[in-house]
Every structure is written in C-alpha cells, then in structure tokens.
Amino acid sequence: MRRRCAGKGPPVRTFAPVALMMLALAGGATAEREESGQGGLAQVIASSFRARGQADLDRLRQTPMQLACSVARPDALPADVQQRIRRDALQTVRFPPDGRWLGEWQRGEKIAQSGTGLQYSDPPDAPRGGNCYGCHRLSGTEVAFGTIGPSLYRYRQRNTGDADAMRRTWIRIWNTHAFNACSMMPRFGDAGILTPEQIRDVMALLFDPASPVNR
Amino acid sequence: MPCVAGPRPAKQGVRAIADRWPLAFAASALAAAALACAAVRAADPTSVYRQMLADDNPAELAVARGQELWQMPRGPKHAALTACDLGQGPGVLAGAFAALPRYFADTGSVMDVESRLVHCMVTIQGFSRPELAAAPFSELGEPQTDLEVLVAYVAAQSRGATIRVPQGAPQERDSYARGRDLFYRRAGPYDFSCATCHGADGLRIRLQQLANLTRSEGARSAFGHWPAYRVSQGAVRTMQWRLSDCVRQQRWPQLIFGSQAAIDLSTYLGVLAGGGTMDAPSLRR
C-alpha cells in the first residue's frame, strides 16, 4: 500500500470541512456528509440510485472514515486526521475470545478465491468470499491475482521472528485503517463482510506452513 | 479469427491462385498462419485478441441497425430521429458524440448521448419515457434495445473525432465538479470509490487491467472506446451500462439509468479525456 502511517507532527487547525469531519468522527457510526459548497451533490446522490436486492440506499451514507478518505490524496490529509482514523479503527477490532488465531487454510483458500457477496446481484444468503486474489498474490500457483494490494506470497516466512505478527494481521483483516488510514482494503471484520470464523480461515491461509501461500 | 482455425477467408485474387495451385496455396497459407500465430503468442494477449476480432466487430451489426432506426419514421408520432439535435444542430451526427455530455438549453440540463436520445425518442417520436428508462439495456441473450443500437450508430459517426466535452456553461462545470467528487466518494460495505480501482497506473483485479481514470491517458482510452461490443456479454454495451456495472461491483445500490450521477461521471471522464480520439464502438473482453 502506498499510504504510510503519518508521523507525529503538530496538531493542525484545519479548514471547515475537516473540522466538520472531526465532529462527525466524535459522533456515531455513520454521519451525513456536510454538503456546503458541494454544488448539490447530496441531492444528486439521493436521486440517482435505487435500492436493489440486498443493496439498500443506506449504503450511500458515509462513515466518518469514508467521508475523510473521499479525496484524491488521502495521504496528504492532516496528520491528526489520519491519527484519528487509525485510533477509531483500532477500537473496532474484536479479537477471537478463545485466543485461537488460525482456522483451516483449505477453507481460507476458498474464501480468498471467491468474490461473491454484498453485490445486489449476489444471493443474500450465499456464503461470502473475501476476494483476496482480486488484489493480492497469495499462493504460489494461482496466477490470476490482482496487484492493487501487495503480494502476500510466503507471508509466514516474511513474518518470522515477529511474535506479534498474528495479532497485527488479524487487525489488518478486521479493519486495516488501524495501521493504514484510508487504505483501499475493505474492513472485512468491522464491516461484517467475513465472519470471525472465516477470518480465522484466511489467517490460516497466511500462516499455516502447509498453506499454498507458504509452500 | 483464432489461430487454430487456419488462414483467413481468401480474397478474390488470392482465391484465383488457390484454385490453380491448391496444394501450394494450402501449404503457404498454413505457414503464414503459423507465423501469424507465433507473432500473436508473443504479444500482449488482450491486444492480440482485439486485433483478431477487430475486422469483424459484431458492433457493426448494431451500427447498421441503429442507422435504420435513426432514419425510419417510428413511434406514435411516426417521425424519424433525423430532426434530433445532439448538440451540433438538428440531424448533425458527425462529431456529436465526441462533445457529449453537454448543456442543452431546451431542457435546461446537461445530458449525455443516452439521455439525449431518450429525450428525442420521447419528444419527436412520442415514445414513453418510463418505458424507455425501465429497460434501456438488453438482458443477456436478448436482442439489443433500440437505445443500444442508436448509441452504437451515433458513436460510429464520431469515429476519429477529437473528444471535446464542453465546459463553457456553468451547468457543465457543475456536472464535472460533481462527477469528480463522485469518482472519489467512498461508500458502501466495501468502502469503494471509483478511484479504489481506477486511481493509479498499471493495476489489475485478478488479470483484468484497470484504466487509471484520474489521468487523461486512461480517461481517453476509456471514454474513446465506449460503447463497445462486450464479448463476455455478447452485446453492445453503453457507457451508462459500464458505469452501472462498476457501481454494482462497488457494492452500491443500483445506478439509475439517465440519473444525474451517471451523467456527471460521464462528464468527468469526458472532460478528462479531452484531446483524445473517439474509436467506438470498440471491442472489449
């Protein structure tokens, strides 16, 4: 990912939209965008989409993170805004209550391969995939991988010696903005895309020595 | 034409040679095909695929059908579309597509080619707007809609034209500004904006190359090649269809046909694509 965690830097008093956004960050899970100076974008959005299948109009309401990150250069956001996004994201993370990080890599591979889920064309009750291969290289044998995210091939080997690697990876899958404000990767745990059990299986794909990612 | 199928159908002069020396012809044709296939394998598979099909783009059937529909008196008013003003004056098609979306004084709004064609079919021919808007795109396996073939025909009359989507009117500038904001707007359970996939050079989803639609080069390629005959769909698809299918994959609700958001996104792309060359209908995966 291109976005880097911002350094400390002094708190920046910023322009009005960011101030509004900061208020929104202090509020609930979602917030309506302040549309002043947007040339009627709110009305345009309200009149341009219709609910279909499982995709209802509530999906167009932005979370504070989505609102803040809706810019051409999120890496240029003020350091305090990025810090806030990371802190809020970290607070969303739920760790496995039994402390078990890894499920089955075989199931994880299926989840990584599947792009089904949450489109209005998808059956609402079908098992959801994570579509990991859409953006990442994972196993050494699957050649149809995307390049929006970094390669995760040999993930276990890359993280040897890092006692905290599993916890950190769990956080990245649950809500990657905890490390990487305005990352392009979906919040698979926080947004409810994958279940905690599915995330365990994806974790196994990344960490199990027998997984095709590490063989 | 696929490599395995052998040489292309012979032209007249070649056919005469083939008739006189059939064995020699067959051998040389096979050798030529083998050479062509070797060259094909060495190059980028997608461009080769397009090249192989380019001479036989099935979109030409839609263009021909669109021309018939454009000229034929139709609808409750039994009128032809030849009086339709696509921005360059009534009935003027040359270059019209390359300058859309634009502001139209008669409706007081910015319209893209699809919404303007619907407007003409309603006002000139007396068709029902709700009926046209309810089914603008053909379903898989169904015949193309009237709108799709008309878009193909109108686009073909701008082939080679320079893209110049106007920004003179304040409404046109507003449309661009909203389209640009929409492009970067993140929402939905996946947090995706258009820029998530189309915000940098050289990215792929799986093996699918993604155009960088934040820069002129990528926008020119995208804007200049739609409508397109989409092989995986077996049909000509329009820009609004393309945008709508992106929005579906974004996990957003359905983009309404003819909506302001659809037009604004087209305006954003068209303005960014300024100076590029129209080459549509094209052929896409």
- B28-41 pLDDT, tens per residue? 544 444 444 444 45
Cβ contact, residue pair A49, B182, below 8 Å: no
Segment B151-161 mean pLDDT: 98
| Contact (CB, 8 A) for B181 and B115 | no
Tokens 């896409």: give the residue. B284
pLDDT over 80 (residue B225): yes
Tokens 């974008």: give the residue. A41
Domains within chain A, CATH numbers bracketed: 16-92 (no CATH), 105-207 (1.10.760.10)
B246 is catalytic: yes
Q: pLDDT value at position B285?
A: 85
Q: Which residue among the candidates B3, B194, B197, B246 is catalytic per the annotation?
A: B246
Residue whose C-alpha is closest to residue A134's, from B230, B283, B186, B192:
B192
pLDDT over 60 (residue A77): yes
Domains within chain B, CATH numbers bracketed: 3-42 (no CATH), 59-284 (1.10.760.10)
Chain A: residue whose CA lies nearest to B200 = A148
Predicted confidence band of residue B13 (pLDDT cuts 50, 70, 90): very low
Cβ contact, residue pair B191, A118, below 8 Å: no
**CA–CA–CA angle A173, A174, A176 (5° rounding):** 65
* Mean pLDDT for all residues in chain A: 87
Residue whose C-alpha is closest to residue B182's, from B131, B107, B252:
B252
pLDDT over 80 (residue B162): yes
Q: Which residue has the higher pLDDT, B243 or A13?
A: B243
Q: Count CB atoms within 10 A of the CB of residue A27.
A: 9
ipTM: 0.83
Q: For residue A139, what are the CA distances in angstroms to A102, A105, A128, B182, B205?
A: 17, 11, 20, 35, 16
How many residue contacts between A and B have a Cβ separation below 8 Å? 127
Cβ contact, residue pair A44, B186, below 8 Å: no
| Contact (CB, 8 A) for A138 and A148 | no
What is the spatial distance between Cα A83 and Cα A73, in angstroms, rounded to a whole number? 16
Please tell me the distance in Å from A79's CA to the nearest CA on chain B: 20
Please tell me the distance in Å from A193's CA to the nearest CA on chain B: 7
pLDDT over 90 (residue A34): no
What is the spatial distance between Cα B123 and Cα B110, in angstroms, rounded to a whole number? 17
pTM of the model: 0.83
Contacts of B227 (CB under 8 A, 6+ apart): B59, B148, B151, B152, B155, B236, B237, B238, B239, B280, B281, B282
pLDDT over 60 (residue B189): yes
**Chain B hits for A45, Cβ within 8 Å:** 182, 261
| Contact (CB, 8 A) for B124 and B77 | yes
Three-class SS of residue B21? coil
What is the spatial distance between Cα B73 and Cα A1, in angstroms, rounded to a whole number? 57
Q: pLDDT value at position A8?
A: 38
Phi, psi (deg, nearest 5) at residue B276: -75, 180
Segment B220-227 mean pLDDT: 98
pLDDT in tens, A152-192: 999 999 999 898 999 999 999 999 999 999 999 999 999 99
pLDDT in tens, B135-149: 999 999 999 999 999
CB burial of residue B100 (10 Å; 0-12, 13-18, 19+):
buried
Q: pLDDT value at position B21?
A: 47
What is the spatial distance between Cα B282 and Cα B93, in angstroms, rounded to a whole number? 18
> Does the beta carbon of A40 lie under 8 angstroms from any beta carbon of chain B?
yes
What is the spatial distance between Cα B89 and Cα A160, in angstroms, rounded to a whole number? 69
Per cent of chain B over pLDDT 70 is: 81
Phi, psi (deg, nearest 5) at residue A195: -80, 160
Give the length of chain A: 215
Please tell me the distance in Å from A4's CA to the nearest CA on chain B: 16
**Chain A hits for B245, Cβ within 8 Å:** none
Residue whose C-alpha is closest to residue A209's, from A137, A141, A160, A143:
A160
E strands of B46-203, at which residues?
102-104, 109-111
Which residue type, as a one-letter code, is found at position B51?
Answer: Q
Chain A: residue whose CA lies nearest to B244 = A49
Q: pLDDT value at position B19?
A: 47
Phi, psi (deg, nearest 5) at residue B229: -80, 115
What is the spatial distance between Cα A54 and Cα B35, in angstroms, rounded to a whole number? 52
pLDDT over 50 (residue A215): yes
What is the spatial distance between Cα B274 and Cα B112, in angstroms, rounded to a whole number? 15
pLDDT over 50 (residue B244): yes
Q: Count CB atoms within 10 A of the CB of residue A179.
A: 16
